Amino acid sequence: MNWLNARIRMVVALLVFALVGSTADAATRQQDIDRLVTKYHQLRQFNGALLVADEKGVILEKGYGQANFEWKVPNTPDTKFRIGSVTKQFTAMLILQLVAEGKLALDDKLTKHLPDYRKDTGDRVTIAQLLNHTSGIPSYTTPAFFQNDSRDPYTVADFVKKFASGDLEFEPGTKWSYNNSGYFLLGAIIEKVTGVTYAQALRQRLFEPLGMKSTGYDVSMEVLPKRASGHQLTPNGYVNAPYLDMSLPYAAGSLYSTVKDLYLWDRALHQHKLLPAPLEQQMFTPGLEQYAYGWWVKPLKLNDGKTEVVTVGHSGGINGFNALLIRVPERKELVVVLDNTSRGDKLGGIVAGVLSILHGIKPQQPLREISEVMMETLAKASVTEGVARYKALKATKAAEYDFSEQQLNRVGYQLLGSGRLADAIEIFKLNVEMFPQSGNTYDSLGEAYLASGNEELALVNYRRALELDPSNANAAKTLERLEKAGGSAGKKAKAE
């Protein structure tokens, strides 16, 4: 029996070794993730809450920075953040549950459930096209809307009539264009079919059954424990974000949640009990532009530049807040990042770095932003000196700073917003010089010229933007509007 006892002891030792090794590995990954995200926070590129999980459960959940800068209240995993367009996946789920119950069909026309909607367009648009952004209905979230209407409350019916009933921009089903009006209309359909408000339908059908007690429709006047305040980072520090009446994002972006509740949502999806299998598969089947029903479905390249993972996820942005929820269904990996300082441009880098760590790949570290240096310079010196400093740093310290095109774009728009039109134009021109094959840089330069009243050069740059990126809906719309207005400027620009 000695040989049997020895064998048992060896097996036990191996199991203990494996368990200790697994625990040590999990601790190392947790530390590596925390170090990476802390670096982003130290560079003022992230302020919020993070949750990372895999098939075994939560690896790390932690808050970084302040939920409210005025009172210096810290962020925690229980802090409630506005999640913007991450709302859309919940709206899509409600619609598909109603389809499963036979209360509507994906090929139903819009007017079947909203009979007061204009028939010349509503008779041509299906519920499926609202879900996957191919309806052709114009999206209401334009710069003019945020400038003129975003502070005023509307009833659902009044909002639909004024902001979600425009002439079609293309034949439904033929093109893709991200569309908040479509999801607003889906919310109205949910209310019509269920007989309760959109907020009540969410609570009764999803949040209460799933135990998501810290998720709901955000109403500004309500006293909501642990609600984060929205902020923006400016050259002079953090400021409070502009007010937005939360009746307006509605089914396109009105929800608040926590990283912990969104983990519950992710696990519920893995259990495959919320929808019949065919409808669940349809919800995650990408169409045009890799967009399904309330979800992006696309590959994400990790930080080694080679490894790709198929992800299902969505981002969200709303005044003062940004959110990103990314799932890797094959390995049951989840990364949720919620930010309350308007730093949506950095969340993708955080997610890619975190997933790289989970896959044994060295994460890419964040860099100091050249936009901060530029704004510090432009606060004291001329735009000519600012451009010179940019070029000098790019030549000597390229590895220390983020020189991506988004950096100069941010500087240009900050100058544009503060009324420094001539300086903004010079910065956008520099961005075109640095990134001559990017349609977005020409689009921004065109916008600056248009703001300065120079329609001729605006047309030239919008045309170039559309040549480089035919999917640029903003450039296409602006061009159409300017050319429809006609005049000598339009004819001259066309000739050039």
Q: Measuring CA to CA, which residue among 99, 111, 87 is closest to residue 202?
A: 87
405-417 helix and 370-378 helix, angle to the nearest 10 degrees: 30
* Pairing mode, strands 81-82 and 237-240: unpaired
36-58 burial, b if ≥16 CB within 10 A, otherwise e?
Answer: bbebbbebbbbbbbbbbbeeeee
Q: Kindly report, as residue ranges, where domains of CATH 1.25.40.10 are found in the chain.
A: 368-495
Distance CA 211, CA 114 (A): 32
- The whole-angstrom separation of Cα 415 and Cα 425 is 9
**Cα torsion for 29, 31, 32, 36, to the nearest 10°?**
140
CA distances from 110 to 47, 123, 187, 338, 377 (A): 40, 6, 12, 33, 53
Q: How far apart are CA 157 and CA 373, in angstroms?
A: 47
User: Could you write out the DSSP letters of every residue in 51-79?
Assistant: EEEETTEEEEEEEESEEETTTTEEP-TT-
Pairing status of strand 57-64 against strand 48-54: antiparallel
**Exposure of 331 in the CB half-sphere (CA atoms within 13 A):** 15
| Residue 243 φ then ψ, to 5° | -70, 145
Comma-separated ranges of CATH 3.40.710.10 domains in the chain: 79-223+245-259+277-293
* Predicted local distance difference test score (pLDDT) of residue 8: 65
pTM of the model: 0.87
Give the pLDDT score at 237: 86
Q: Are the C-beta atoms of residues 308 and 328 closer than 8 Å to each other?
A: no
pLDDT tens sequence for the chain (496 residues):
566 566 666 655 555 554 455 566 788 999 999 999 999 999 999 999 999 999 999 999 999 999 999 999 999 999 999 999 999 999 999 999 999 999 999 999 999 999 999 999 999 999 999 999 999 999 988 777 777 777 888 899 998 998 899 999 999 999 999 999 999 999 999 999 999 999 999 999 999 999 999 999 999 899 999 999 999 988 778 999 999 999 999 999 999 999 999 999 999 999 999 999 999 999 999 999 999 999 999 999 999 999 999 999 999 999 999 999 999 999 999 999 999 999 998 999 999 999 999 999 999 999 999 999 999 999 999 999 999 999 999 999 999 999 999 999 999 998 998 899 999 999 999 999 999 999 999 999 999 999 999 999 999 999 999 999 998 888 888 998 888 876 444 444 444 4
User: For residues 218 and 212, what is the distance between their CA atoms, to the nearest angstrom?
Assistant: 14
Distance, in Å, from the CA atom of 192 to the CA atom of 301, rounded to the nearest integer, reads 42
- DSSP assignment, residue 239? E
- Three-state SS annotation for 146-162: HHHCCCCCCCHHHHHHH
**Torsional sign, CA 412, 416, 422, 423:** negative
Q: Is 68 exposed, middle or buried (0-12, 13-18, 19+ CB in 10 A)?
A: middle
User: What is the token pair recorded at 95?
Assistant: 């619609």
State the Cα–Cα distance between residues 38 and 31, nearest whole angstrom. Answer: 10
What pLDDT, on the 0 to 100 scale, is given for residue 10? 63
CATH, domain range 28-77+295-366: 3.30.450.330
Homologous superfamily (CATH) for 79-223+245-259+277-293: DD-peptidase/beta-lactamase superfamily (3.40.710.10)
Give CA angle at 493 (490, 496), nearest 5°.
150
According to CATH, where is 3.30.450.330 located in the chain?
28-77+295-366
Q: What is the DSSP string of 365-402?
A: PP-EEHHHHHHHHHTTS-HHHHHHHHHHHHHH-TTTEE
Q: Is 382 a catalytic residue?
A: no
Q: How far is 49 from 83, CA to CA, in rounded Å?
A: 12
**pLDDT at 21 (0 to 100):** 54
| Secondary structure class of 224 (helix, strand, coil) | coil
Helices (H), 69-211: 87-100, 110-113, 119-122, 127-131, 143-148, 156-163, 180-194, 198-202, 208-210
Tokens of 332: 């049951």
CATH code of the domain occupying 368-495: 1.25.40.10
Which candidate in 85, 181, 315, 342 is catalytic?
85
CA 447 from centre of chain: 22
Token pair for residue 486?
Answer: 């006609």
Can you name the residues that pair with 333 across neighbouring β-strands?
328
